[in-house]
Structure 1
């Protein structure tokens, strides 16, 4: 006897994706816009969207598709999200550039989004690693009133000295506390190269920042965070050198960084076990939920 055929209705996605064409200084960029599906959310159309800046060298999909999934999750929660390939990355034209050189690309993306969707009044910049740094540099340099909020995940503040300090503090010193390390050292199973590496990191971590760093990009980031008037969501992974470097910078980075973690409007969320890119489904879902709640909880536009 044949089993009855069960008809399963297709699940309608809560988002729809479309390509947004962007031009920056005569060169074509590519944006992927995820929006709430028709009928999924109540009208009127949202007036706030998330512009997801991609850190490099990557493109709009992200590691383990994290940016695609984040954009679609936000759209399903009623928050449109635009993911951007800036010049020289992914499918965009132009020469490759780093996070300190994308101000014009960010502005062009907001311009194009508003032209295609006039109901969009303001954006939240979302960035992981050096994309978070790019967001802070943008608000510092441009003072763009359309930027209403920031979502910063594991911001990049690296210098050779800061990396050495973070490694000594959060990795090497932890190893020195482990009896297994000393057993291996005394038995000869830890090579001289590893010992020399530790001594080198200790010396490098004590180095002073060069005088030319008085207006280093990290100083500009601090200025941007301090002067920005909107709400900020700071997401930090516990198992990540970049996050540890950022926290160290906030504690020991001099007057520009003092008190920034306690600035009004900053909400800090720690994921103690998460890695740099929130690579598990649970970590990713946590970040998606934090971001959606942050954007939907922002005060209404004036």
Structure 2
């Protein structure tokens, strides 16, 4: 396995990309979330790409227009479908043995793949999809607050703190009020994502980090009975712990080996 740095064209702009080469006929297209560069948060995508390639699957990462080393204007995740499609074409050109490509995105990168009906990938792994409108708060949804309090009440140390008066009662009362609110209202973004995904015919897997607010909001706005959802207990948004990173890698390898 070796790492190659290259560029490709998207419309009139040149975009920077990285290929972690491997002989496999199934590859992973990594889409960065937010305004992150292709290395990911704390170089996480770079490390993950190396591990996936070491298992025999080529991995392609890129900076969309206006981000990192790429030219052009940053148009945001809602208008990044052309960037993803151009990256996929470049991936297939640089790794001509590919017969199948799995698209992977975390946060609004997952949302972008859904809005673009898969952006011509063959399968999707969608992690912690972003469904929060620009005008909304990203506070944890009521169900997440209720779950957190339920977990605390199972902990004898937390109960001891409560009865000993070491808990801020004003803060506790505020949390209880938020916990009693109804389920989060649907968002037009979530509905657009649902419509886009409905047009995709390949296999889909959702990955949710249970301690992540973005994942918690998505879970409230999506079908709770969706059998495509897998949850990583105790994981944060970027799967920063060693256990969570291993869980994420294993889920991606499962998708690639199908």
Contact 2:29 2:101 (8 Å CA) reproduced = yes
Structure 1 distance, partners of 2:73, 2:150, is 41
Q: 2:15 aligns with which of 29, 52, 66?
A: 29
What is the distance in 2 between the residues matched to 1:118 and 1:110?
A: 12
Partner in structure 2 of residue 289 of structure 1: 250
TM-score where L is the length of structure 1: 0.72
Q: Alpha-carbon deviations, 1:10-32, whole Å to 9, x = none?
A: xxxxx210013111121111111
Deviation at 1:170, TM superposition (A): 3.9
Which runs of 5 or more structure 1 residues have no equivalent in the other structure?
Answer: 1-14, 37-44, 251-256, 298-302
- Tell me how far apart the structure 2 counterparts of residues 182 and 133 of structure 1 sit (CA, whole Å): 40
SS at match of 1:30: strand
2:116 is aligned to 138
Q: Residue 117 of structure 2 contacts residue 198 of structure 2 at CA under 8 Å; is this kept in 1? A: no
Mapped to 1, the partners of 2:101 and 2:37 lie a distance apart of 20
Q: CA deviation at 1:208?
A: 8.0
Q: 1:258 to 1:241 in 2, by over 3 A?
A: closer
Paired residues for 1:56-205 under 5 Å: 56-139=34-117, 144=120, 147-159=121-133, 160=136, 163-166=140-143, 168-171=145-148, 179=159, 182-183=162-163, 190=168, 192=170, 194=171, 198=175, 201=178, 205=181
Cα distance per residue 1:204-253 (max 9 Å; x no partner): x559859xx5xx22112112333422122222222222222222112xxx
Match among 210, 221, 226 for residue 249 of structure 1: 221
The alignment yields a C-alpha RMSD, in angstroms, of: 2.9
Q: If the length of structure 2 is used for normalisation, what is the TM-score?
A: 0.83
Q: Which residue of 1 aligns with 2:212?
A: 240
Whole-angstrom CA distance in 2 between matches of 1:61 and 1:33: 12
Higher-Rg structure is 1
- Distance in 1 (alpha carbons) for counterparts of 2:103 and 2:183: 34
